[in-house]
Structure 1
Amino acid sequence: MVVYGSEDKLNFQINMEENTKRPQFDENGLILPRRAMLPNFDTRRDLHRELMFNCKTGKSLLSEKSELSRALEKHKVNQTRKMVEEEKISSRSEIERALEERAKKLEELEKSNERNCEATTVCNPEFVRLHAKMKNRIQASN
């Protein structure tokens, strides 16, 4: 069985090795130009090995979704979720809406009462100390 192209690759590799070992000179003593080494040769070989391994194991890399398709799918899921929430809100009865409004009003009243209580009970400690001193002086003078 003859594999075409394998001899070319082998010759190419041998030539690459010879070129990297020693420079070649012409009759004037100048260094002859040589072919540049392909930096992607090893990475291409590694990629081919990985593809062959995945082919043998049955894993298909092409069936994976791209980042764009995953983002679009996520966006669609979010849109459908929002639509369902809006339908729930719009399908509520009048009683449920009235109860929610009352609950909001009660929460607002509780918050305003808490703010009022905090405003009256929070005192400046320096003011309290000076007030106590003045009170003691007035009582002592009487």
Structure 2
Amino acid sequence: MERLGTHRCRALSTVRQAGVILAVVGACAAGFPVQGVGRGQDAVDPPRPTRNDLVRPLGPSDEVLMLRHQRLQKGAHELYYRASLFGVWPWFERLGARMTGQWQVVFPEGGGSPGFDEGYRLARYASFEHWRHTRGALSRAL
């Protein structure tokens, strides 16, 4: 009895292995990706070292982040934020810009500027030309 049971287990194991091999061969023949590259796809470029301390000109496909600093009347930051959120940002988003965030500078007790609030806004543009396009006619002179 034991030999018959052992023989059945070996036979099932062999059938499973053959099934797995056939499935892999069939997937390759059907054009499923092998090692991450499928039909009509290029191989992924290997990583290249990048030097951030080297100057290089902006290319047409380089995204641009613009950080703006605002000085506002004391206590007016919340009003300014709401006006930006519901008025300015939707218009810029229709032009393709993406608002990343807006922050109010908070100083410790006794620090900061007594006459005004300070804030920063960060926005992302598809390229420098895209940013210039959102500035209007005067930005063409930049």
Q: TM-score, structure 2 length as denominator?
A: 0.25
Structure with more relative contact order (C-alpha pairs < 8 Å, separation 6 or more): 2
| Structure in which a larger fraction of residues adopt helix | 1
Structure showing the higher strand proportion among its residues: 2
